[in-house]
Structure 1
Amino acid sequence: MAKTEREKMEAGEWYSCIDPELESLRTRARAAIHEHNTMAPGRRGNIGPALAGLLGAAPADVVIETPFHCPYGFNIFLGAGVFLNAGCIILDTAKVRMGARTMLGPGVQIYCAEHHLDPVKRREGLEVARPVTIGEDVWIGGGAIVLPGVAIGDRSIVGAGSVVTKDVAPETTVVGNPARYVSRQ
């Protein structure tokens, strides 16, 4: 039996994002995100109720400032005390895991999707999803971009505006485009 596009996405295989089941899941996420982004802060709390229910894991002390965006939500797993500042985008076509007390500055972007290099296949919506793992007590500065398949070790720092193209060892600081090692904590 042939795999569905969602099953291919979850298996890390090439899949078409132009798919009715995936579009339905994105529509559900858009509604939850809209609620979160437009609800009065006093009513919303740390995370809008629909978004909290959509995420793979988000303890009560997680804070997601508005605006926030993700296409699916169910692939995002946040540890205790995680803080996402305003304007964060997590393109969660694969699992995104953040350890406890990790903080993202404003405008941080985390990408899991890689599009096909062949333009014909890109037009067909072909992409592959690669997970992103961020350890505990990590600080990612404003405007940083984390690319698909990257792992960032515990207690590391990613400088503002950096583009993280490869894994970051625990307890290190990286900066720049592409992000390069500058120090050990």
Structure 2
Amino acid sequence: MESEKEKMIAGKPYLPGGRELSIDRMQAKEVCHDINTLSPREVAKRNKAFKKLFGKTSKRFYIEPPFYCDYGYNIEVGNNFYANHNLVVLDCAKVCIGDNVMIAPNVALYTAGHPIHHQLRNQEIEYALPITIGNNVWIGGNVVVNPGVTIGNNTVIGSGSVLTKDIPSNVIAVGNPCRVLRQITDEDKQYYYKRMKIK
């Protein structure tokens, strides 16, 4: 018989209130508390705690506190990862982040969801679908990424966007719901902001 944790990892409906998952969440909360209360100068100690918390880290990453997650062990970050203040990751399913990813403040990555019908919700049924973020992605401030979304390589997500569907590689995407605005091309190498040229 599958445990609720096994169901959660497999993307099946599960009950989050059981002993095993409750213990796992409390352990993650304790590590997050330690991270968020360290002196800003204690970067090495903070990174050591992140390595303990996450399922996979790289040699080079930097995450500004405060940071919050549900479990931690479902989070994988690639090389040269940067996240600004107040990243929230509900990692009931896998959250896989590629290399050279930048995340602005107040971004939320939500793998967890609940049924539409209230009778199912009232039974405390939950589900979780993985989030995948490709390489060289920049996610603007106050973005929400919903369960099951994949963001392709080299893509930019505009501030305040809400992602409910996959976003392809090599595009700028914005809005609520988030949609592709345009392709990123070699011409973009000339500009650092809008039509302001790199000299």
Same fold, TM-score > 0.5, yes or no:
yes
Give matches, 1:1-185, under 5 Å.
Answer: 2-45=1-44, 47-185=46-184
Q: Is the Cα contact below 8 Å between 2:38 and 2:46 reproduced in 1? A: no
Provide the identity percentage: 39
How well do the aligned residues superpose, as a CA RMSD in angstroms? 1.2
- C-alpha distance in 1 between matches for 2:2 and 2:36: 34
TM-score, L = length of structure 1: 0.96
Q: Measure, in 1, the Cα distance between the counterparts of 2:81 and 2:137.
A: 10
Gaps of 5+ in 2: 185-199
Deviation track 1:91-121 (CA, whole Å, cap 9, x = no partner) reads: 0000001110101100010000110122232
Deviates most, 126-135 or 38-47: 38-47
* C-alpha separation in 2, matches of 1:36 and 1:48: 9
Q: Which runs of 4+ in 1 moved over 6 A?
A: none
- Deviation for aligned residue 1:46: 7.8
Q: Deviations over 1:114-166 (max 9, x none)?
A: 10122232122211110000000000000001110000000000000000111
CA contact (8 A) 1:140 1:158 kept: yes
Distance 1:9 1:32, change over 3 A: same
TM-score (norm 2): 0.89
Query: 2 CA distance for matches of 1:120 and 1:45?
Result: 47
Listed as ranges, the gaps of 5+ residues in structure 1 are: none
